[in-house]
Amino acid sequence: MSYKSTFQRAVVTGGAGFLGSHLSDALLASGCEVVCVDNLCTGSRENIGHLLGDPRFSFVRSDAIDGIHVDGPVDLVLHLASPASPVAYTRLAIETLRVGSEGTSNALELAGEKGARFILASTSEVYGDPLQHPQVESYWGNVNPVGERSMYDEAKRFAEALTVAHASRRGVDAGIVRIFNTYGPRLRSGDGRVVPNFIRQALADDPMTVHGDGTQTRSLCYVDDTVDGILRLAASPHLGPVNIGNPEELTVTELAHRIRELVVSASPLRHLGLPADDPKFRCPDISLADELLGWKPSVSLEDGLLRTIAWFSKNQDPAVTRLPRGPKEESVPS
């Protein structure tokens, strides 16, 4: 990915998280200064350790809920602060709702004060368990407001409404990106998301846990492509929302087989119960991103998975930093 920044100085809330750290990398590479604001509740210093010596990068350990105070000029605010995996936002339910409301309000206030472009990192979860497939931006979604995932879904839906209100009532230059399943290096191995779960289990020759019957679908976008889409929206005048994701759809079982083959693992598959409100289908319509931003994903699933597997093999527990040997097999309990 090659991105030439039109911005001089950006604030990235949640900048020590998986996606935020990759956005910080891309902004710095483009010539932009970056102020990373993160309370490290789910982010990690390891994600930004390679940036801490760069004079154009600064890290502020702070919670967006408590206000965002940055001295000097800012011309871009990227608001990513929020737990983003089922394990994290279930554990931090109230904090997730607060960062979606109070944290978003504070980030919008900062953008308004500085005259900066504001980008909200929203999510495909606003579509809930969709009744329309693939999902287009005009679809209002099928969300359970009191369900087990509601703290994340409704926090993002409120954040979108708040962003639109600030744009229409206060003139904030804002954009909303709806991010679909994104994967790549720096994902937390125990965060409950399907790609790190499968990779960690396959590297250890542990059973690969498939929830439900495995026919539910996901559409996986490599992190470099997601970052490219977000920054294209930032550099545009569009409010959105705009879907950013990969429209190539596969079942969870197909994904498990693909990862097992790439790792060369002997892990069996093991089926568990399906969590409540788990989406049966997830696939973006990216026509709008193509039309407005000239954006489409370019990294193939195999290439992206190989890069991600290599990172996990190098960075997780030394006992499993190898490519397992042995025959491929499948054992699915009844």
Does residue 71 belong to any structural domain of this protein? yes
Does residue 78 belong to any structural domain of this protein? yes
Does residue 215 belong to any structural domain of this protein? no
- Write out the two tokens for 79: 């608001």
For residue 319, pLDDT beyond 50: no
Does residue 304 belong to any structural domain of this protein? no
Sequential DSSP letters for 263-275: HT--PPEEEEPPP
Q: Determine which of 151-155, 219-223, 300-304, 318-322 has the lowest per-residue pLDDT on average.
A: 318-322
For residue 143, pLDDT beyond 50: yes
- How crowded is residue 17: how many other Cβ atoms within 10 Å of its Cβ? 31
Confidence of residue 315 (pLDDT cuts 50, 70, 90): confident
Instruction: Give the Cα separation of 294 and 232 in Å (integer).
Output: 8
Using DSSP, state whether 108 is helix, strand or coil: helix
Percent of the chain having pLDDT more than 90? 82
Does residue 273 belong to any structural domain of this protein? no
Counted domains in the chain: 1
**Chain segment 8-59, per-residue pLDDT in tens:** 999 999 999 999 999 999 999 999 999 999 999 999 999 999 999 999 999 9
Q: For position 125, which CATH number holds?
A: 3.40.50.720
Does residue 65 belong to any structural domain of this protein? yes
Does residue 197 belong to any structural domain of this protein? no
pLDDT of residue 3: 56
- Active site (catalytic) residues: 152
Using DSSP, state whether 221 is helix, strand or coil: strand
pTM comes to 0.91
Does residue 270 belong to any structural domain of this protein? no
> What would you measure as the largest C-alpha separation in the chain, in angstroms?
62
Instruction: Provide Rg for the chain, Cα atoms.
Output: 19
For residue 323, pLDDT beyond 60: no
- How crowded is residue 186: how many other Cβ atoms within 10 Å of its Cβ? 22
Expressed as residue numbers, the domain containing 171 is 9-187+221-246+283-297
pLDDT of residue 325: 33
Amino acid at 99: V
